[in-house]
Amino acid sequence: MSKLIAVAYPDVPTAQTVLGRLADMQKREIVKLDDAVVVERRDDGKVKLHQSNSLVGVSAAGGALWGGLIGLLFFAPLLGMAVGAAAGAAGGAMTDIGVDDTFMKDLGRDLAPGTAALVVLVRSMTEDKVLEELHGQYQGKLISTNLSTEEEARLREHIDAAAGAAG
């Protein structure tokens, strides 16, 4: 089961920096993320979601590949690729996986204007290594999780220690 963690940060660049660190850790297989989104509360009060990956792009590429292969069978590979890419993009646009957008927009409305939150759906992680790499570097505040009480307390302790070290 994936674990939902939402941490508020003072601004979008800080949230994006932490996301970048998590992406680097994912490449090294320290953490596996199912979804990651930076939620921004703009100064005008509007909430913007910065998705970390494009499901539409992935689906379009997959559709183009399959369309091209099918097109080869009927001697029209370019037409097959174009139709496949369009179908893949349409399918990807209609599919919403990961954290619910409505939940993230509601969470964003609770943020102070000009701030941001990083919402991650963690499939698995080597907790001690993730916390070690992020410890003491970023001022964040844990705002939502579906973790157990013990896991949440441990995470809150690390985040609060980082905020205390920076402040």
CB atoms within 10 A of CB 68: 19
pLDDT per residue, tens digit, the chain (167 aa), is: 789 999 999 999 999 999 999 999 999 999 998 889 999 999 999 999 998 763 334 444 555 565 555 555 565 555 555 555 555 554 444 444 578 889 899 999 999 999 999 999 998 999 889 888 887 678 889 898 898 898 888 888 888 776 666 55
The residue type at 120 = V
Sign of CA dihedral 148, 2, 131, 52: negative
- Classify the phi-psi angles of 45: left when phi > 0, otherwise alpha if psi is within -120 to 50, otherwise beta: left
Single pTM value for the model: 0.71
3-state secondary structure of 62: helix
Helix axes 12-27, 127-134, angle to 10 degrees: 140
